[in-house]
Each structure stands twice: as structure tokens, then as C-alpha cells.
């Protein structure tokens, strides 16, 4: 589960690590000039206008060498192939399940994409309406999104609780190489699955440890800046 989370964070290209990495970041509004010069390359969220590289959305402008991009800090979930997400089953059809992944298009999990053989007659026992499932996005088309359960850690979530954070905050909840999420797992003894769509599942020995894990995740998600976040979280746990 963890390795896939990290891959997602890197692929999405929106890792929010501490700015001490030598990447400069500053708040930017749409249309604002980020840098001027022919050498720079506009990346995600930026565009070229003559000599200037200009922001194409609101967020944090980041100069990583020659590549200029704007990291989204606000806004809804944009699904990408290979994202691991948590969704809620809306319907059981004759050949699969309709899943709400908190996006504008509906998502479909074909019967064929379940990790083991599931009889048509036992489909709703395997995954019923209202159940939470961890799945991977297999394809994103304008008609809809296709999901698969073939992969480590995917499937129906049993027990524990799910809650939602802003999807842009997911990379920092995971942390560099999973450091943040592992810290929270250690301190609470909880299993945690993080969906790129902002839905998080935690399960612990008891309700109190689950509440603690959720509060810790929300603490990390609510902060705007990431400097010294690990220390803040460790302090927070020490106080509890």
C-alpha cells in the first residue's frame, strides 16, 4: 500500500516537501508573471506569454531549475491514471459496481477487475451499496473512470473509519518517502490507507486511537505551509 502511495505522490508531481530543498515557492494568482526569460519551461499550471512565464491557476509558483509550475493548494480532486482512491459503492450492476470517488464523472469497477473470482450472485456481499473500497484508477476517459482492485492493499475497507481532507494536502500527509504517514501510524498503532482523492481510512485497536490518528492527519492537512511540520506533529503527539 505504502509504495503505491509514494508513487502516486511523485507521479502527480505535486509533492509538497519543505522548501529547503532549493525549490523556491511563492503565492501566485492567475495571470501573474512568475519569471521572465526564454530559458524557462512552463510546466503544470503555467504557460508562456511572450517573454514571460505566467500562472494559469492560483497556488504556489515553484521554480525547480528551468521548470516553472504552479502547485494547486486549493480545489477539488483531479483523477489521474494509477491514483489509489477510496470510494463509496453507489450501485451494484450486472457486471460491476458503480463507485463514487468524489469526482464529477462516475467511476466503474468491472466485475473482472476484482482480485479473486466473485460470483454474480455474491456481488453485493463482496461489495455492497454504502461500502468503502480502496481501488486504483485504471483509465480516465471523458465517458467515465475505470477502476481495478488488482493491487496490494486494495479492496473493501472493514472496520475503522473514513474521513475527508482536501485532496491537495494528500502528498504532505504522506510525506517524503511516506515519513509523515508512518509517523502517524507509529504513534497511534493504526492501519491507515490514504486515497489521492482526499479520503483517508484509519483502523486502530480502539476508537480513541482512531480519533487520534484522524486528528493528527487533519492537523497536517490544515496547515498551509509545510516547514517544520514533522516537528509540530511530534510535539502534538507528545502532548497527548
- Candidates 65, 75, 189, 228: give the one binding another protein (CB under 8 A): 75
36 lines the binding site for another protein (CB under 8 A): no
CB 127 within 8 A of CB 133: yes
| Residue 185, phi then psi, degrees to nearest 5 | -60, -45
- Rule CB under 8 A: choose which of 5, 42, 45, 188 binds another protein: 45
x/- map, 117-136, another protein, by CB under 8 A:
-----------x-xxx----
Nearer to another protein, 101 or 181 (CB): 101
Q: Is 161 in the site for another protein (CB under 8 A)?
A: yes
- Residue 46 CA to residue 59 CA, distance in Å, equals 11
Q: What is the dihedral of CA 93, 97, 100, 101, to 10 degrees?
A: -160
Binding of another protein by 56 (CB under 8 A): yes
DSSP code for 207: H
- Nearest-approach distance from CB 215 to another protein, in angstroms: 8
Compute the half-sphere exposure of residue 8: CA atoms within 13 Å on the CB side of its CA. 32
C-beta atoms surrounding 108 within 10 Å: 19
From 43, 153, 164, 178, residue interacting with another protein (rule: CB under 8 A): 164
Q: Which residues of 163-186 are buried (b: 16+ CB within 10 A; e: fewer)?
A: eebbbbbbbbbbbbebebbebbbe
**β-strand 84-93 against 67-71: which pairing, if any?**
unpaired
Binding span for another protein by CB under 8 A among 10-18, 157-165, 181-189, 226-234? 157-165
Q: Does 102 bind another protein (CB under 8 A)?
A: yes
DSSP 66: T
Does 14 bind another protein (CB under 8 A)? Our answer is: no
CA distance 28 to 14: 16
- Rule CB under 8 A: say whether 27 interacts with another protein: yes
Q: DSSP 3-state assignment of 37?
A: coil
Stretch that binds another protein, among 173-181, 186-194, 198-206, 228-236 (CB under 8 A): 198-206
The CA distance from 105 to 82, in Å, is: 17
Binding-site member from 160, 171, 175, 204 for another protein (CB under 8 A): 160
Report, in Å, the least distance between residue 37 CB and another protein: 19
Residue 103 beta carbon to another protein: minimum distance, rounded to whole angstroms: 8
Q: Which residues bind another protein (CB under 8 A)?
A: 27, 29-32, 45, 47, 56-60, 72-76, 78, 87-88, 100, 102, 104-106, 128, 130-132, 142, 157, 159-164, 168, 198-199, 201, 207-208, 210-211, 214, 224
Amino acid at each position: 500500500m505504502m509504495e503505491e502511495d509514494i508513487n502516486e505522490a511523485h507521479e502527480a508531481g505535486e509533492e509538497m516537501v519543505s522548501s529547503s530543498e532549493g525549490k523556491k515557492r511563492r503565492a501566485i494568482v492567475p495571470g501573474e508573471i512568475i519569471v521572465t526569460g526564454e530559458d524557462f519551461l512552463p510546466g503544470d499550471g503555467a504557460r508562456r506569454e511572450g517573454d514571460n512565464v505566467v500562472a494559469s491557476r492560483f497556488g504556489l509558483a515553484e521554480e525547480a531549475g528551468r521548470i516553472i509550475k504552479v502547485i494547486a493548494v486549493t480545489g477539488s480532486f483531479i483523477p489521474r491514471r494509477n491514483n489509489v482512491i477510496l470510494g463509496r459503492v453507489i450501485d451494484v450492476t450486472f457486471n460491476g459496481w458503480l463507485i463514487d470517488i468524489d469526482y464529477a464523472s462516475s467511476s466503474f469497477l468491472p466485475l473482472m477487475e476484482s482480485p479473486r473470482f466473485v460470483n454474480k450472485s455474491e456481488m453485493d456481499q463482496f461489495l455492497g451499496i454504502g461500502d468503502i473500497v480502496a481501488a486504483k484508477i485504471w483509465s480516465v476517459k471523458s465517458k467515465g473512470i475505470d477502476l481495478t482492485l488488482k493491487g496490494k492493499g486494495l479492496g473493501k475497507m472493514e472496520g475503522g473509519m473514513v474521513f475527508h481532507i482536501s485532496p491537495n494536502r494528500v502528498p504532505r500527509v504522506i510525506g517524503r518517502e511516506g515519513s509523515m504517514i508512518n509517523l502517524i501510524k507509529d504513534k497511534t498503532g493504526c492501519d491507515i490507507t490514504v486515497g489521492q482523492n482526499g479520503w483517508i481510512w484509519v483502523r486502530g485497536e480502539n476508537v480513541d486511537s482512531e480519533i487520534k490518528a484522524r486528528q493528527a492527519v487533519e492537523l497536517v492537512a490544515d496547515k498551509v505551509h509545510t516547514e517544520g511540520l514533522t516537528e509540530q506533529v511530534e510535539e502534538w503527539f507528545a502532548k497527548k
